[in-house]
Amino acid sequence: MRNAAYYLIFFIFFVVIILPAFVAKSCNVLLPERPGEREKVEKPGELMVSLYVTSQKKIEKIPLEEYVKGVVAAEMPAGFKMEALKAQAVAARTYAYKRLRSLGGSGCSLHPEADICDDPTHCQAWITKTEMLRKWGIFAFYHYYSKISQAVNSTAGMVILYQGNPIDPLFFSTSNGKTENSEDVWGKYVPYLRSVTSPGEEISPRFVSVKEIPVEEVVSKLQAKWPDIVIDPKHPERQWKVLEVSEGGRIKTMQVGNKVIKGTEFRMLFELNSTDIKWERSGNNIKFTCKGYGHGVGMSQYGANAMADKGSNYVDILKHYYSGVEIQKINAGSN
């Protein structure tokens, strides 16, 4: 029994202390500390991306397919179904492909010398292998990186086209059961960004969110945003009314005191998860209940995972969320 106990203690010590240290040391060799450190060697015919890395304030040039792996790792939970990860990979590749200056693309408007940046509020999020290791931990890293690499490599070169041109494949986390028409959010009609049903969203931890804000803070934010607003300082919510609802079931326009504003403006002002908003008085607070998370246009990531869970492949998913598109291969190179 004593020997068994010693072996058990040694095993635990090895697994918890020695092995992680060994793997971490190995990772320092295998994983580049700087983006593109091992991926800079350009292969003949391989498309390269000029990526502006915000944290370093510099441009790195890396292969398109390696870039896509970093986007998928940053933008979608690695535990998602393979076909959902493939759909995300194709969307990420298409977004970059459309902006490649070497192919006549628009490039990054914030950083004119780059094709794209890693700021998710402007382009797409992107992380290095080292950042993936920190995000997932030592033991999960190899499984998740292998899974994402499979999703990217198996769809290498595939992009989303509408009438022969690459689309802007917008995506977001979670819908309220339907996606939005582009014009209902940004005022511009885009034929492939149409409202569609998106079942299975209830699995998302952000499907329903509740936020309470003190009445005084609500009023002060409204007055700061619109100095000429006329609003009841004690019961502002009594002067709110939904005027127009989008096809996706979210607030398009609403009355707030003497103002008519967009649902998107209201959402941003109070930092709410979506424009599917309900409100009620809760003591000295106003309680906001939202369904969904994100702008609602394009592919819902949790919806994509729900479709994959029911047997849809990545082409099915992309054609569902982007109306009238085709998925075709370009010579993007692969690793």
What's the token pair of residue 34? 């700087």
Query: Does residue 157 sit in helix, strand or coil?
Result: coil
Q: Is the pTM of this model over 0.75?
A: yes
Strands 285-291 and 58-63 turn out to be unpaired
CA distance 279 to 118: 35
- Which residue type occupies 137? G
CA distance 239 to 110: 40
CB count within 10 Å of CB 302 equals: 27
Give, for all 335 residues of the chain, the pLDDT tens digit: 555 555 555 555 444 444 544 444 444 434 444 444 444 555 656 899 999 999 999 999 999 999 999 999 999 999 999 999 999 999 999 999 999 998 989 899 899 899 999 999 889 999 999 999 999 999 999 999 999 999 999 999 999 999 999 999 999 999 999 999 999 999 999 999 999 999 999 999 999 999 999 999 999 999 999 999 999 999 999 999 999 999 999 999 999 999 999 999 999 999 999 999 999 999 999 999 999 999 999 999 999 999 999 999 999 999 999 999 999 998 644 43
Where helices occur in the chain by DSSP H, the ranges are 2-13, 19-30, 64-75, 82-99, 129-136, 138-153, 182-186, 215-225, 263-269, 301-309, 314-321
Q: What is the DSSP code string of 236-278?
A: GGGGEEEEEE-TTSSEEEEEETTEEEEHHHHHHHTT-S-S-EE
